[in-house]
Structure 1
Amino acid sequence: MITLILIGIGTGNPDHLTRGAIKALNEADLILLPRKGAAKSDLVDLRRSICAEMLSTPVPIAEFDMPERSSEGRYLDAVRDWHDAIARLWMESVAAHLPGGGSVALLVWGDPSLYDSSLRIAERLAPLGMPVRTHVVPGITSIQALTAAHGICLNRLAEPVLITTGRRLREDGWPTGTDSVVVMLDGGCAFQTLPPEPFDIWWGAYLGLPQQALVHGPLEAMGSRIVRLRADLSSRHGWIMDIYILRQRRHARIGEPERAEPEQTR
């Protein structure tokens, strides 16, 4: 029997790991690290650095090459096929490095429950012939890191907030029933599809890392700046992880618009 331990590691900063995460890493029989190609070598390097800093016991570490998701066909079909391919790679890695069974740890960005598919991939293992017990160690989410970096609350007083993706914002437009929206997994700057005047934006990339970048202000003034900055950072580092909050300046039940603070970039 395999116990699969999904450990939330925040945004890659070792300070984001909980004591429970460090304990789980040191008690694992095997740690699996995904490689995502030379352009994203920093991502596996961050995981290696976390292991080097946090391991006080000699836990074996194995790496595997992540498959690429197809850009053709229907999006959900491509994602499902991609998850199937990852599940098979997990099985092959475990069979090669832990044939007698035991516990396998995977380091998951943010928290395994929020816009991460590790839990869904784990559900594919039993039908493929590898029954597993799954244990989740929660981590700091990019949402928490973003609000902390900007020093803001996630929502207005007694008001809801919606968490969505760039693809859904682009396809569906602004959601009804809320004036605060968190947008994740947005490789195409979907905020450009909105009329900019009613919104303020709080954007962050590489949150908690030395290359952290933050921008805040009216969307009409900061949108194009974020697009340029995002492209520059992605080109410079070979990868980028970013997230942002959009908030309507005027809410029907509040009345007066909130003043936007001056733009901050660092």
Structure 2
Amino acid sequence: MDQPVRVRILGVGMGPQHVTPEVAGALRDADYVLAADKGDDDRDDGLLALRRAIVNAHAGPDGPVEIVSVTDPERNRSAGLTATDYQGAVADWHDARAARYAAVLKERGGTAAFLVWGDPSLYDSTIRVVEKVRQLGVPVDYDVLPGISAPQLLAARHRIVLHEVGRPVHVTTGRRVQEAVAAGLDNIVAMLNPPPERLDLTGLDDWTMWWGANLGAAGERLVSGRLAQVLPAVVDARAAAKKEAGWEMDLFLVRKN
């Protein structure tokens, strides 16, 4: 391959309505969209369908850009993983993804686009995976265009500011909430959350929670209030979001009163 493959990493929020004019223009100029397919024999990938809706909504005069789907590798999601095991499982998953994407990019060349939920800068692996593609010997020239992030949507839906006047907000994962609390942090956004039964919120009963799932997409749900009182509603709303959309992505802000 003499010419480098151009890759556009595009933040698309959670649907066609969140796509900026800059991202829409880049999408129309791409030769194809490269997308992971997480479906199986019994289940369609609802997020792949949402990517297709985005592509169709922002089609150019020649029609929508082609979507090239790649079966997503399996990832170890065992409940008992240690922090080290978790990091290793994610690294192995990224390596496997990079190998599959590299094969397609090497074969097709041209300009490929990745559609990233929310914004590529926040708890997304696409930039790292594209760097791994480079390490596999595929010449890649890439750029990144921002999108609307999940914390932005959470704040807008609940009509709140993510931090109090002159105060910070800490963004972490659901697995590390207790670590943040132990460090003295008391205004925490948690993303990439495990199921509620695996989420440790011990000691936060009197904190306020603002929670949301599938924000801006099918299955959107919102819950807010004193954590101990609203947690059962969060469990039900999370299940309802997944039932309606076929997938579920949630996040929350918790703040000490």
TM-score of the superposed pair, with normalisation by structure 2: 0.89
Match of 2:181, SS state, is coil
1:2 alignment counterpart: 5
Question: Could you report, residue by residue, the CA deviation over 1:114-142 in whole angstroms, capped at 9, with x for unpaired residues?
Answer: 00000111111122110211200100000
Conservation of the 8 A alpha-carbon contact between 1:67 and 1:85: yes
* Alpha-carbon distance between aligned partners in 2 of 1:235 and 1:192, rounded to the nearest angstrom: 24
Cα shift at 1:238:
2.9
Superposed CA RMSD in Å reads: 1.8
CA 1:175–1:132: 2 relative to 1, 3 Å: farther
1:255 alignment counterpart: none
Cα shift at 1:42:
1.2
Select which of 188, 193, 200 maps to 1:186: 193
CA 1:237–1:30: 2 relative to 1, 3 Å: closer
1:257 alignment counterpart: none
1:17 alignment counterpart: 19
Aligned residues: 244
Select which of 47, 50, 54 maps to 1:50: 54
Select which of 135, 149, 154 maps to 1:141: 149
Which runs of no fewer than 5 residues in structure 2 stay unpaired? none
2:91 alignment counterpart: 80
The equivalences for 1:185-224 within 5 A come to: 185-189=192-196, 192-224=200-232
* Alpha-carbon distance between aligned partners in 2 of 1:139 and 1:173, rounded to the nearest angstrom: 27
Conservation of the 8 A alpha-carbon contact between 2:11 and 2:23: yes
> 2:47 is matched by which residue type in structure 1?
L
Conservation of the 8 A alpha-carbon contact between 1:191 and 1:223: no
Select which of 141, 152, 159 maps to 1:151: 159
Conservation of the 8 A alpha-carbon contact between 2:175 and 2:199: no
1:67 alignment counterpart: 73
Which runs of no fewer than 5 residues in structure 1 stay unpaired? 250-266
1:33 alignment counterpart: 35
Conservation of the 8 A alpha-carbon contact between 2:39 and 2:45: yes
CA 1:104–1:175: 2 relative to 1, 3 Å: farther
Question: Could you report, residue by residue, the CA deviation over 1:191-213 in whole angstroms, capped at 9, with x for unpaired residues?
Answer: 54322333000001110124311
1:233 alignment counterpart: 241
> 1:70 is matched by which residue type in structure 2?
N
CA 1:81–1:244: 2 relative to 1, 3 Å: same
Match of 1:129, SS state, is coil
Cα shift at 1:187:
1.8
* Alpha-carbon distance between aligned partners in 2 of 1:177 and 1:187, rounded to the nearest angstrom: 23
* Alpha-carbon distance between aligned partners in 2 of 1:168 and 1:18, rounded to the nearest angstrom: 32
The equivalences for 1:158-177 within 5 A come to: 158-170=166-178, 172=179, 174-177=181-184
